[in-house]
Amino acid sequence: MRVVAGQMLSFIDDPAIVGEERSYRFFDRGAVAIDDGGQIAWSGPLADLPDDWRRTAITDHGRSLILPGFIDAHLHFPQYRMIAAYGADLLDWLNRYTFVEEQRYGDPALAAQAAHAFLDELVRNGVTACLAFSTVHPEALDALFGEAERRNMAVISGKTMMDCNAPRGLSDTPESGYLRSKELIARWHGRGRLQYAISPRFAVTSSEAQLEATGALKREHPDLVLQTHLSENKAEIEAVARVFPWSCDYTDVYDRYGLLSERAFFAHGIHLSERELARLSETGAAIAHCPTSNNFLGSGLFGYRHAREATRPVSVAIGSDIGGGTSFSMLATLRDAYVVSQLAGARISAFDAFYLATLGNARLLHIDHEIGSLDPGRFADLVVLDPEATPVMAARHALSASLHDVLFALIIMGDDRAVAETYVAGRPMKSVLATADNA
Amino acid sequence: MRVVAGQMLSFIDDPAIVGEERSYRFFDRGAVAIDDGGQIAWSGPLADLPDDWRRTAITDHGRSLILPGFIDAHLHFPQYRMIAAYGADLLDWLNRYTFVEEQRYGDPALAAQAAHAFLDELVRNGVTACLAFSTVHPEALDALFGEAERRNMAVISGKTMMDCNAPRGLSDTPESGYLRSKELIARWHGRGRLQYAISPRFAVTSSEAQLEATGALKREHPDLVLQTHLSENKAEIEAVARVFPWSCDYTDVYDRYGLLSERAFFAHGIHLSERELARLSETGAAIAHCPTSNNFLGSGLFGYRHAREATRPVSVAIGSDIGGGTSFSMLATLRDAYVVSQLAGARISAFDAFYLATLGNARLLHIDHEIGSLDPGRFADLVVLDPEATPVMAARHALSASLHDVLFALIIMGDDRAVAETYVAGRPMKSVLATADNA
């Protein structure tokens, strides 16, 4: 049992739909009461803390903001250390760096060490849950899920499937991809807070037979999330058109094999046509917007407002896309989302941004009954943000006249230093990490 | 006397012109010998350190990189704490935040405190010299120059001139702008390492009479740098066209009053026509590219390669543009310069980036005989960069196979934490700051 106090912010609904005022709950002195199971028993103004909890020791974060832990809806576990690889564009970057690094993950010892470092980095940045790619190797996924289970973290991942246009060391076959996925689903899905995600890399690296098998997996496990990539880069789009000459566009390839659904996540989706956006809207599939990656690789400017247009609204999640992305920090990710929205001519607000990284991502992953808000019954996955983490942030904070100001400065100027603490299922994790670093 | 050792990198010439291989000197174990005047007496491989210096205590930075201190070619002293103000675009942002904040700088006590905080932040980020805007108030410039002189820093700045389309509290007149500038030039220019810069804010806030007086100042002081803003934002460009109906474009306004020259710096220059680029090229005037600011305000994507095209090459400097810019870090600035170059379809290299922020800016400011390289006779303004400053940077560093890899990861992932030390005229400044912070 634990009570955590501080400024408290939790979203109720999407500010882009219900308006900012009605989208969140904020308490200047708030508290979250956490039961022994690591779940939120109560949350609200500290002054209203029920009597039962008043004898519990309070961890007081003062003027720092307590939010639901960040959820990263798209990143690559085996790319955790290959950030900032100097590739010309997506396809060059994949071939020169990514495929080389990923081949190392067949080694269970290496994968275990990497899983440790990867999840440490999530914790350092206040990210308590994620939808992540692994590699083609079952060993890599075993390592990631094993370490996540040890930490009781909500990790959603799956073995990558790719059977063509990739090095032999990273390739499976339609049959082995299907069978290994089935085995891993049986071994891991639903164990603790873990979920399996069906994970074909992208259209270019899967044959028609593999996409067919992926469709079968999805039909057999309709409750599973599916993750892949879509329309990131123009050369990639041309490659897809060459490989699938019968398709009317990139989205059509996935559609043909039944991969579009309310539980499907398509990373990037930058250059989609109206037809594609309408089809994503119809099926409820989500785009995972990855602004630092799109900026780093020069992939293009994703139009957030455009994607969400009310006539055919497409769901949009947000992710770091490590290691195409340049930072594990969800604050840095939201900073670049703001930049992209400005350059695309329709800016988002800080409320839009924080909604996306918490309740928005949780809803699209269909885990908002477990995380994404500070409502009772949710796991106490929390991030505590200090708006005065550095001297220049402290100087800027003195000018803030509203909650929006505080949140906006956090995304524009903040990084992992602004994450004062990270709680996973009620347990403080970042301070423990910091202690270990100094030991 | 002091010897500083570490990896050592210093540019000789522009990699975009002479090629990467011939553009720099690098020593895996290098040393910089600094005399009692704070100037570089010798630099080269540590093994070749002259006998005279072998009895001097060596400050060894190990595997960290010693470079010439960063030079920021465009930022605003009075905006040091108003980073991340949520403005729709340039003109909205100026009116709602900037002009409000700048009005406070008539107060000498406030200005003195701000100068202290501002220069601390430069030091924290390894920036040892800058071309900065101040406010309209002589008091603000006195405070900035006074504090810079106390630290022996190479600050180039000037009283802002603006006599229209601005709040009364920030306005001067053609006469007072001219006279106060003359007084300040007499008081400060050439004192220690300080230089005065003629500083009309931008065309919109200066009357024709003021631009005329500015031209007179420039004729009377041809050795002075001139700084202003140009072609940042489309609404701004339209406003200039309305106010100066006789002009054929924005650049033409400054040209008419004789403000284009080899010592003129025009911040932004994003939306320039071929005619304007050719005219800048002809006169040798420089664009100060400010990528984090352009991204934050959604101003547009500056085409670095386009501006430098060999048929009519325009000089390009680089600046943070605090507080339109989002970081004092020159590494973060170079990261966004890379992003902008990628999105504009012609990427720069890490060598291009580091050249711009050191020797490139020094040359354009005509102070490359004093700073910008590690050659003997220069002031020992140094930045020491640690490529393993954070856990994720250390993990990434293990993959680096070349100097370019190391430099590139520094700009993509680095921030003030990667600045292990900052020397100003031979004196360590950042470590002193850190000690004071902890006291």
Residue of A20, A75, A86 to mutate for B, most B C-beta atoms under 10 A: A86
Nearest to A61, CA basis, from A328, A366, A418, A435 = A418
Contacts of B347 in chain A (CB under 8 A): 88, 298
Q: Does domain B2-68+372-438 have CATH number 3.40.190.10?
A: no
| CA–CA gap between residue B437 and residue B439 (Å, rounded) | 6
A85-116 pLDDT tens trace: 987 788 888 888 899 899 999 999 999 999 99
User: Confidence class of residue B306 from pLDDT cuts 50, 70 and 90?
Assistant: very high
Share of chain B above pLDDT 90, in %: 94
Compute the nearest-CA separation of B182 from chain A (Å).
Answer: 33
Compute the nearest-CA separation of B261 from chain A (Å).
Answer: 31
Cβ–Cβ below 8 Å for B80 and A117: no
What are the domain boundaries of chain B? 2-68+372-438, 70-364
Compute the nearest-CA separation of B98 from chain A (Å).
Answer: 12
Contacts of B295 in chain A (CB under 8 A): 339, 342-343
User: What number does CATH give the domain A2-69+373-438?
Assistant: 2.30.40.10
pLDDT for B438: 55
State the burial class of residue B258 (Cβ atoms within 10 Å of its Cβ: 0-12, 13-18, 19+): middle
Q: Do domains B2-68+372-438 and B70-364 have the same CATH topology?
A: no
B187-237 pLDDT tens trace: 999 999 999 999 999 999 999 999 999 999 999 999 999 999 999 999 999
Share of chain A above pLDDT 70, in %: 99
User: Confidence class of residue B437 from pLDDT cuts 50, 70 and 90?
Assistant: low
What count of CB pairs under 8 Å joins A to B?
Answer: 114
pLDDT for A332: 98
Is the pLDDT at B439 greater than 60? The verdict is no
Query: What string of H, E and C letters represents the secondary structure of A72-116?
Result: EEEEEHHHCCCCCCCCCCHHHHHHHHHHHHHHHHHCHHHHHHHHH
Residue of B75, B76, B80, B81 to mutate for A, most A C-beta atoms under 10 A: B81
A31-56 pLDDT tens trace: 999 999 999 999 999 999 999 999 99
Cβ–Cβ below 8 Å for A416 and B343: no
Compute the nearest-CA separation of A110 from chain B (Å).
Answer: 13
pLDDT for A96: 83
Compute the nearest-CA separation of B358 from chain A (Å).
Answer: 22
| CA–CA gap between residue B438 and residue A88 (Å, rounded) | 43
Cβ–Cβ below 8 Å for A124 and B296: no
- Nearest chain A residue (CA) to B416: A390
In this prediction, residues B3-9 reach a mean pLDDT of: 98
Cβ–Cβ below 8 Å for A83 and B409: yes
A134-178 pLDDT tens trace: 999 999 999 999 999 999 999 999 999 999 999 999 999 999 999
Compute the nearest-CA separation of B88 from chain A (Å).
Answer: 8
Q: In this structure, which long-range contacts are made by residues A302-310, counting pairs with CB atoms below 8 Å and at least 24 apart in sequence?
A: A302/A268, A302/A269, A302/A270, A302/A340, A302/A344, A303/A344, A303/A346, A304/A337, A304/A340, A304/A341, A304/A344, A304/A346, A304/A348, A304/A352, A305/A341, A305/A344, A305/A346, A305/A348, A306/A344, A306/A346, A307/A269, A307/A272, A307/A277, A308/A16
Contacts of B430 in chain A (CB under 8 A): none
Contacts of B415 in chain A (CB under 8 A): 415
Q: ipTM of this predicted complex? A: 0.96
Contacts of A404 in chain B (CB under 8 A): 86
pLDDT for A433: 87
Compute the nearest-CA separation of A56 from chain B (Å).
Answer: 33
Cβ–Cβ below 8 Å for A413 and B342: no
pTM summary value: 0.97
Cβ–Cβ below 8 Å for A84 and B408: yes
Instruction: Give the pair of three-digit tokens for residue B226.
Output: 């001139």
Cβ–Cβ below 8 Å for A86 and B350: yes
| Contact (CB, 8 A) for B171 and B162 | yes
A195-219 pLDDT tens trace: 999 999 999 999 999 999 999 999 9
C-alpha separations of B376 from A151, B41, B64, B241 in Å: 55, 5, 21, 48
Cβ–Cβ below 8 Å for B124 and A391: yes
In this prediction, residues B304-332 reach a mean pLDDT of: 97
Coil/strand/helix, residue B381: coil
B338-377 pLDDT tens trace: 999 999 999 999 999 999 999 999 999 999 999 999 999 9
Contacts of B413 in chain A (CB under 8 A): 83-84, 326-327
- The CATH superfamily assigned to B70-364 is Metal-dependent hydrolases (3.20.20.140)
Closest residue to A339, CB basis, from B296, B349, B412: B296
pLDDT for A88: 76
Q: Choose the CATH number for A72-364 among 3.40.50.410, 3.40.50.300, 3.20.20.140, 3.30.750.24.
A: 3.20.20.140
- Nearest chain B residue (CA) to A119: B392
- Nearest chain B residue (CA) to A84: B409
- Work out the angle at residue A21's Cα, subtended by the Cα atoms of residues A16 and A22, and round it to the nearest 5 degrees: 75
Q: What are the per-10-residue average pLDDT scores of chain A (439 residues)?
A: 97 97 98 98 98 94 98 97 87 87 96 98 98 98 98 98 94 98 98 98 97 98 98 96 98 98 98 98 98 96 97 98 97 98 96 98 98 98 98 95 96 98 98 72
Query: What string of H, E and C letters represents the secondary structure of chain A?
Result: CEEEEEEEEEECCCHHHHCCCCCEEEEEEEEEEECCCCEEEEEEEHHHCCHHHCCCCEEEEEEEEEEECEEEEEEEHHHCCCCCCCCCCHHHHHHHHHHHHHHHHHCHHHHHHHHHHHHHHHHHCCEEEEEEECCCCHHHHHHHHHHHHHHCCEEEEECEECCCCCCHHHCCCHHHHHHHHHHHHHHHCCCCCCEEEEEECCHHHCCHHHHHHHHHHHHHCCCCEEEEEECCCHHHHHHHHHHCCCCCCHHHHHHHCCCCCCCEEEEECCCCCHHHHHHHHHHCCEEEECHHHHHHCCCCCCCHHHHCCCCCCCEEEECCCCCCCCCCCHHHHHHHHHHHHHHCCCCCCHHHHHHHHHHHHHHHCCCCCCCCCCCCCCECCEEEECCCCCHHHHHHHCCCCCHHHHHHHHHHHCCHHHEEEEEECCEECHHHHHHHHHC
B26-52 pLDDT tens trace: 999 999 999 999 999 999 999 999 999
Closest residue to A83, CB basis, from B339, B391, B413: B413
Please give the radius of gyration of chain B, using alpha carbons only, rounded to the nearest integer.
Answer: 21
Contacts of A90 in chain B (CB under 8 A): none
